[in-house]
Amino acid sequence: MKTIYVSHLKKYYRIFKRREGLLSAFKSLVSRPQHTVKAVDDISFSIGEGELVGFIGPNGAGKTTTLKCLSGLLYPSAGVVEVLGFKPFKRNNNYLKQISLVMGQKNQLWWDLPAMESLRLNKEIYDLTERQFRENLEELSQLLEVGDMAKVPVRQLSLGQRMKMELIAALIHHPKVLFLDEPTIGLDIVMQKKMRDFIAGYNRNHKATIILTSHYMADVKELAKRVIIIDRGRLLYDGNLTDLIKKYADHKVITAHFEKEVKSEDFRKLGKLKSVNGKSVSFTVSRNRAKAVAVDLLKNYRIRDFEIEEPELEDVISIIFQSHPVSHQV
Amino acid sequence: MKKYWFVTKNSMSEYLTYRLNFVLWRVRVVVSVLITFFLWQTIFSGKEVIFNYSESQMMTYIILLSFISAVVLSTQTFRVAEEINRGTLSNFLIRPISYFRFNIARDLSDKMINIAFSLVEVPLIILLFRPAFFWQTDPLNWLLFAAALFLSSLLYFEISMLLSFIGFWSREVWAPRFIFFILIAFLAGTYFPLDIVPPAVYSILRVLPFTYLVFFPLRIYLGGLDSQALVVGFGVTIVWLFILFFVMRRVWQNGLKYYTSEGQ
């Protein structure tokens, strides 16, 4: 049995349009034009136990909506969703005890109280024994290096500290399935790194199934072997991250560092220039010509250093989004 | 059940974080009691009985209002609408906890704190202004009074939850609630005893739920209700409790299908 099974999932929202201006604000008192947004439009995939999958897509692609359907917050307009054999929307307690949803921008902690009070409440909600609670708390606190922060009222914590406490509150019951929506949003580089290490560790140690959405490709690159790419509610790609790059990136990036200054004109005919910086030139060439161009360069110039790389994940992703013009809202 | 006790406990400590806010709220309650108190004292000057109420009955009614409000009308269920609209409701839906029981637990903290304060205020008002206060001596009346208060609290909970559920369909949840406050003020008896209105009007009010929020328990405390009036009163309350319970559940289930967990 697959841990997560999604088949032909659709979620449509009805929203009201309103034009700008005071007059139209008054008009909207009488009648409001409605239209349907297809936030998720016929998506199917399944995920096995212990997998860590990255969800990629631009803003409004339907990532969060999908996660909300999976965690039982939203009622699907159509299709089948099953997680751990449960129908999420029924919100069976036995289901809810095994999952968690972490949303980077929102909090479950009681704002005016020390985080410990919220954690204690969660201990009761998830039926943890005192020992389980202590152990899990100890483990999470050490991994996230939070020290005594649990005793400080939440409103006095910094964003990073709060995120850590939120994460502890969301994981105190050791969920088997974890939905992470932008877990590193707003964190500094160091904290992002720590958060990533933590997620990878949690996935490894608890064989937890994790779906992660992020705007930071670094998150996805480092954590997920498999990615699911969606745009405007449609699934564009589901598979290995490395295959994705091979499949969609028809070019490679060549960077050469020369002994002395070079003129950029010389390289225009070889490929598409990315950057020219004194003695360094970087340009893209199609995949099948990469080798020939490299040989050519080495023969004709005095080169200090030389690299042939796969294009950046960001570039690949934007190629995918551009090459799949899905018709916009109906 | 322990988890709901933690909700009550946390909610109370949250409450006490904003001490000034709370103290000012209590001041407002006391002042509004005093206003009605002096108003009726003036009306009664030189008269024995008005609208079938003796002065001591009327004064008792006015003063006990603050206590009844603390028990029945103190609630945090208006936050439900906010939680729906802001999407923070998701935090409850994602955990194995009943949102209804959570709200009852949260209301309980409100009620406990408000009751504690009004138990100080009411005797203080009585001591300071020495009104003709009527002490109910019949234990049966006390018992019925307590039972009515309990049912009224549940009734108010259901009505208030329903009002908040408007949040599923509209962001404009304060307008209906405001109208409701006005309704309560007039129809529940928080300004004057309801049976001083013309009998025709009163007979309509008696089938509406509002009467049973404040007026009915107070009337029981004051005594003099015959057994038929008691049976009808409790009967109507219980019927409304059932009706509203099913409506509330239905609206909740439908609302969840409509819920978009915005902003989250």
Domain count, chain B: 1
In a domain, B264, yes or no: no
Interchain contact B12–A (C-beta under 8 A)? no
In a domain, B211, yes or no: yes
Report pLDDT digits (tens) over A298-308: 888 888 888 88
User: Token pair for residue A194?
Assistant: 């720590």
Q: Which of A218, A245, A272 is the last residue of a domain?
A: A245
Is position B263 within any domain?
A: no
Residues A91 and A234 in one domain: yes
CB B255 within 8 A of CB B84: yes
Residue A212 Cα, gap to closest chain B Cα (Å): 15
Domain annotation covers residue A133? yes
Please tell me whether residues A109 and A240 are part of one structural domain.
yes
User: The tokens of A330 are what?
Assistant: 């109906």
Percent pLDDT > 70 in chain B is 98
Determine, yes or no, domain membership for A217: yes
- For residue A268, pLDDT beyond 80: no
A278 in the same domain as A234: no
Q: Is A262 among the domain residues?
A: yes
Amino acid at A123: K
Residue A15 covered by a domain: no
Q: Which of A1, A39, A10, A47 is nearest to A239 (CA)?
A: A47
Q: Is the pLDDT of residue A104 over 70?
A: no
A66 within 8 A of A40, measured Cβ to Cβ: yes
pLDDT in the model for residue B146 = 95
Residues A232 and A168 in one domain: yes
pLDDT tens digit string along B65-109?
Answer: 888 988 998 888 999 999 998 888 988 999 999 999 999 999 999
- Interface contact flag, B88 A106, Cβ < 8 Å: yes
Q: Looking at residue A111, which CATH number applies to its domain?
A: 3.40.50.300
- In terms of residues, how long is chain B? 264
Domain contains A318:
no
The confidence score (pLDDT) of residue B262 equals 63
Q: What is the CATH number of the domain that holds A292?
A: 3.30.70
Q: Token pair for residue A209? A: 């199934």
Q: Which band of pLDDT confidence, cut at 50, 70 and 90, is reported for residue A17?
A: low
Nearest to A171 by CA among A140, A135, A134: A140
pLDDT at A330 over 80: no
State whether A237 and A213 are in the same domain.
Answer: yes
Shared-domain flag, residues A266 and A296:
yes
Kindly state whether residue A226 falls inside one of the protein's structural domains. yes
Binary contact (B95, A122; C-beta < 8 A): yes
Range of the domain at B80: 2-258
Q: How many CA atoms lie within 13 A of A262 on its CB side?
A: 22
Same domain, A163 and A299: no
Among A37, A38, A106, A118, the residue to mutate for chain B (most B Cβ within 10 A)? A106
- Which residues in A296-330 are b (16+ Cβ under 10 Å) and which e? ebeeebeeeeeeeeebebebbbeebbeeeeeeeee
CA–CA min distance A15, chain B (Å): 11
What are the two backbone dihedrals, phi and then psi, of residue A131, each rounded to the nearest 5 degrees? -70, -50
| Lowest mean pLDDT across A36-40, A249-253, A265-269, B182-186 | A265-269
Each residue's pLDDT tens digit, A206-217: 899 999 988 778
For strand A209-213 and strand A177-181, is the pairing parallel, antiparallel, or unpaired?
parallel
* DSSP assignment of A114-133: BHHHHHHHHHHHTT--HHHH
A113, A255: one domain: no
SS (H, E, C) chain B: CHHHHHHHHHHHHHHHHCHHHHHHHHHHHHHHHHHHHHHHHHHHCCCCEECCEEHHHHHHHHHHHHHHHHHHHCCCCHHHHHHHHHCCCHHHHCCCCCHHHHHHHHHHHHHHHHHHHHHHHHHHHHHHHCCCCCCCCCHHHHHHHHHHHHHHHHHHHHHHHHHHHHHHCCCCCHHHHHHHHHHHHHHHHCCCCHHHCCHHHHHHHCCCHHHHCCHHHHHHHHCCCCHHHHHHHHHHHHHHHHHHHHHHHHHHHHHHHHCCCCCC
Tally the domains of chain A: 2
B83, part of any domain:
yes
Q: By the CB < 8 Å criterion, does B137 face chain A? A: no
- Pick the most confident of A120-134, B34-48, B186-200, B247-261: A120-134
Of A71, A97, A112, the CB nearest to B17: A112
In terms of domains, do A165 and A302 share one? no
Say if pTM beats, i.e. exceeds, 0.95: no
- Residue A2 within a domain: no
What angle is formed at CA B60 by the lines to CA B57 and CA B63, rounded to 5 degrees?
Answer: 150
Q: In the structure, what pLDDT confidence band is assigned to residue B177 with cuts at 50, 70 and 90?
A: confident
Final residue belonging to a domain, choices A245, A265, A290: A245
Predicted ipTM of the assembly? 0.81
Q: Is A35 helix (H, G, I), strand (E, B) or coil?
A: strand
Contact A74 B97 (CB under 8 A): no
A60 and A209 both lie in a single domain: yes
Q: Which domain holds residue A174?
A: 48-74+85-245
**In A, what residues contact B, Cβ < 8 A?**
13, 64, 68, 71-75, 91, 93-94, 96-97, 99-101, 103, 105-108, 110-113, 117-118, 120-122, 124-126, 153
Contact B264 A113 (CB under 8 A): no
Q: Are residues A70 and A158 in the same domain?
A: yes
Query: Does residue B76 sit at the A interface (CB-CB below 8 Å)?
Result: no
pLDDT per position as a tens digit, B20-64:
888 888 888 888 888 888 888 888 888 888 888 888 888 898 888
Least confident of A34-43, A318-327, B210-219: A318-327
